[in-house]
Structure 1
Amino acid sequence: MKYAIAFGVMSLVLAASSMLYPGVRWLLFWSALSFGMVALGYAGIGPRVFGKGRDGRISLPLKLLNLPYLTYTWAIWHLCRLLSREASFNQIDDDLVIGRRLLASEAPEGFDHYVDLTAEFEEPRPIRARPGYCCLPILDAGVPSLAELRGAVEQAAAGRAFVHCAQGHGRTGLFALALLLHHKRVETIEEGIGLLQNLRPAVKLNRIQVEFAHRYLGSSSPHNLSN
């Protein structure tokens, strides 16, 4: 909810500014509308506010509507990419590599699945055209539904997978943890997070993601799957 409040306040500030600066009124109003839409996404509408399809593309109408916010988040991503000393990706085991969103020229070969967890970025065309590309749009710091995660994990579990979100920390950590649990590489949430942080130290799940991981683990137990 804090993201909904933050983006909602930013939207109101931009809307108020549009009345004070007539020379850029429409640009500020457009930006206010864009950040307001994102606030609604975090308030409950979910990742569909960005209109990203399973093919990794964002619908043109929503791309235009959200362009001020997308420009902001794209700029932040490129700054992090250029300034960060963190590796773009890290190998967890023979079948799992996790990392940030990659440029087309950075994407490694030899994977059966490319799991894209971003809702706010369109995947580079050469990557989304690869066999095994899978898109599960999740809001930054958010979670999918249990059914969505379970379906994507079962798909990615059959082979070698590259998993990414924007920076390869929260959403990526959640999905990678689910994969490790699925393969019985770890037995507990804490063990899984520890393994991921040991190999990619910046991985961090927030409280909502940790609670969701516990629900996922419980729902995936043999007893619950049989009911």
Structure 2
Amino acid sequence: MTILNPPKFVTRSLIGAVGLSAIAFFGVTESVKAADINAGIDYLFTPLGSDTWVDFDQSGPMGRVYFKGVPVLPGGADTAVERLNDCDFDATGKCTIDLQFVSLNLMSVTPVAEFGNQNVFLMLDDTQTQPVSSMTLMDMGNMASWTNTLDFYWKLVDSQNNILQTGFESFIGSGLGTYDSNGGFIVKTYDDSAAWARHTDKKIPEPSTTLGLLLLGLGSVAGIKRKGSTEK
């Protein structure tokens, strides 16, 4: 059986805790609003071309390995995090809740020479209990921005589920979502990063865009210098 078999990917505790038929597209919410934002599961998408990568040898010769999502979760998502508490905004428009990684299913965009010239798969390490982290949400009307920490144990495997590497990572993240009058929450964008890894739905900057910004900056500096010379 290969790793692409969905039961291999979906975190067992996630399936056991919530029947798929009861899972909303982006989260699990109560039928009666009990809070500004109800506790629930957020499903995230890691599209091909996103700036999602891991530097496994930390600035060594391997460089960054880029990943895309494997759509094995509800709605074609590849990642799931759970907001463990209800969020009730205080007088300043903030609330802090517990957060836990529950499923991660990423595949390298291209084969990786250092791992046998094959595609590799990044998942949560199911031999470890995933830590409980934190998330602070800021009210923006019917939208909310957030910052978070997200600690997790991961494993890298091949297509036959052979473990190639394991580790622990601690992300610092941010994002934006919307919520409704029933306390339902939908993630719009997210960005989690650490020194040697990043997980986001944001696109890799185009080389032409980066070059254009560089040339614009250089042009501005040259203009300032020319102006200074003229004034003299």
Q: Which has the higher helix share?
A: 1
TM-score by length of structure 1 reads 0.25
Q: Which has the higher strand share?
A: 2
TM-score by length of structure 2 reads 0.25
From the CA coordinates, give the structure whose radius of gyration is larger. 2
